[in-house]
Structure 1
Amino acid sequence: MKIIKSFAKLTGLKRFAAWRAGWQEPASADLFSYIEDVVSPEDSLIFCKWLFPDFVVFEDSVILEMKFDEAAFREWLDHFSGDKAGVERMLNHTHLYDAFSGCGSAVDEVVFEQLSNVLAMSWRMVLKTQFPDRSFHVEAINSDQEYGPVVTFHEKRATVSMSMTSG
């Protein structure tokens, strides 16, 4: 038998650990038992919309529909001097802390980091499926320079280099 892991073992799950501790045989209560007992199908379906988002293709740029605003697109396009990859990186820039602002500090930082990696993996798959002829760079950023973990993406575009020749 060979087990293929999609991503690393989940850690920092305080709510799951507290729920599991309430069982007579905690070792028998796994993640799927938790889903059966606690997780709402509606919440799961709504969360899937974040994992498998809709996109807007505007002026050949791919932007998350939930983040698209034409005025902001044009402002960032001007700011980045026409660099559409820069605009995509900026508009698709998603802070996980903001997405889960209602949770306060009750969530361990490692959970946000793991979730950012899962979200990036999911967006890679969706972008590859929806845009098979395009190539995207999707990244989960977990650095001190950001406000918590961030996921963003942009299309990889060929750069045009100009060389000068002397005659």
Structure 2
Amino acid sequence: MDKKSLIDINTDLLSEYNEIKVLNPDTWEIGEYLNLKYDMNAAIAFSKLYFPDFIEKDGCIILGHRYNEQVFKQWQDYFNGDVKAIESMCNSYEVMDYFQNNRPVTESLDFYNQVIDELAKTLKKSWEINCQILFPDKKIVVEVYDEYDATRITLYQDK
């Protein structure tokens, strides 16, 4: 058997995943976990996280959920039209903010940071694939970086 995948995830970071797997070692896998923890509405919403909309404006590519006309114009003026700098700032987002309202208070900060890094790794791969398909003629970099003790993600064109 030859297993292929675009991403690997650390299931040790999923709450209760391994505890339930011990009880069902032959049948427990990610599909059962998703069925236990989420519903179809969550699945549909998550699809836009991994397959986001992109806005093309004045040569820039901006994540749809990050686009704000006023902010875009401010960065455009500040960076004198430098596409890479504008995109980098407009697309920058703190990964924790996707789910900041749902952090279990009992989790240690170290464990939570591991979870954030795992999500960032997966988002990076997903967005890279999206950009390769949607913009095959452009070299778009998806970057995960730490700034002020926060894991951030952004994307920009590398010309």
TM range (shorter): 0.7 to 0.9
Partner Cα distance (2:149, 2:63) in 1: 20
Asked if structure 2 preserves the Cα contact closer than 8 Å seen for 1:97 and 1:147, the reply is: no
Match of 1:148 in 2: 150
RMSD between aligned alpha carbons?
2.0
Q: Does 1:27 align with 2:29?
A: no
Q: Deviations for 1:43-73, whole angstroms, at most 9, x for unmatched residues?
A: 0110111110111111010001111112111
Letter in 2 for 1:108: Y
Give 5+ residue unaligned stretches, structure 1: 158-167
User: 1:67-86 maps to which residues of 2 (within 5 A)?
Assistant: 67-86=66-85
The two structures have a TM-score, normalised by structure 2, of: 0.85
Match of 1:41 in 2: 40
Partner Cα distance (1:12, 1:73) in 2: 36
How many residues align? The count is 152
Q: Normalized per residue, which structure has more helix? A: 2
Structure 1: 4+ residue segments shifted above 6 A: none
Letter in 1 for 2:143: E
Partner Cα distance (1:6, 1:93) in 2: 24
The two structures have a TM-score, normalised by structure 1, of: 0.81
Q: Deviations for 1:126-164, whole angstroms, at most 9, x for unmatched residues?
A: 1111111111011122x3x2453221100112xxxxxxx
